[in-house]
Amino acid sequence: MKKPPLIPSLIVLSFVILMTNLGFWQLNRAEEKEQLLRLLADDKVTLITEKVQLKQLAQYANIELKGRFLQTPQLLLDNQIDEQISGYHVFTPFQIEGLDTIVLVNRGWIAKEGFSEQQLFVDTNEIQISGKLNNPPQVGIQLGEIQLESNKPSQIITYFEKQKVSDFMHEAICTNLSCIVSDKILWLQENQEQGFKRDWKPIIMPPAKHFGYAVQWFSMTVVLILLFLYWLRKSE
């Protein structure tokens, strides 16, 4: 067999490397989804007693918090649809006892029609709540910036801009430099009081689909190599 031409060989090699990496990436994604599904099925509950736990625990970990809800400021995430009805997700700050830490709690969905500020009332006595630790909701494309005003007890936001919300909450609630606002949120458990409609079902692509995509990428890699070798033999 004669020496393979340089340019076609480099092109094929580039595609082989790309498709192989995509195949392994899909395998890694499948493993991540399997871990998430195990976490969702895990009944273990962790009581938060240190700030670092909120950073170290994985997404969807079951946690308990001791502390109290704060009446203001509360955020209403707009454009949340439930059974074809428009509404809000209600985010209420929760101050963890002894940690000088604020966690935003998603108390669930409430209909936009007939909404009133009185519906947001929350008991501020010391309690213990539980739920799943999660990342703030995100959108693919953010159009403009959200506007947060410190003089409003509750306000509507069109999307959750994590850093801006964190800075706003820190300024509105914290009274010293040691106070922090967690970059995670809590999905309030369905059986907990002081919540609204809650049916937490995260959308997770099954691991089997990622495995299927991986097989496709590896198969295309093999086919490309075989076609290139066949082309070399035919061009001799």
Q: What is the pLDDT of residues 158-179, one digit of tens each?
A: 888 888 888 899 988 988 888 9
Residues 76 and 167 in one domain: yes
Residues 17 and 72 in one domain: no
Residues 92 and 175 in one domain: yes
**pLDDT for 27:** 94
Number of domains present in the structure of the chain: 2
Q: What is the pLDDT of residues 185-226, one digit of tens each?
A: 999 999 999 999 998 877 778 888 999 999 999 999 999 999
pTM: 0.76
DSSP character string of the chain: -PPPPHHHHHHHHHHHHHHHHHHHHHHHHHHHHHHHHHHHH---EEE--SHHHHHHSPTT-EEEEEEEE-SS-EEEEEEEEETTEEEEEEEEEEEETTTTEEEEEEEEEEESTT--GGGG----S-EEEEEEEEPPP--S---S-----TT-SEEEESS--HHHHHHHHHHHH--STT-EEEEEEEEE-TT-SS--B---------HHHHHHHHHHHHHHHHHHHHHHHHHHHHT-
Question: Which residues form the domain of 225?
Answer: 6-37+207-234
Residues 184 and 226 in one domain: no
**pLDDT for 142:** 58
Q: What is the pLDDT of residues 46-101, one digit of tens each?
A: 999 999 999 899 888 999 999 999 998 999 999 898 989 999 999 999 999 989 89
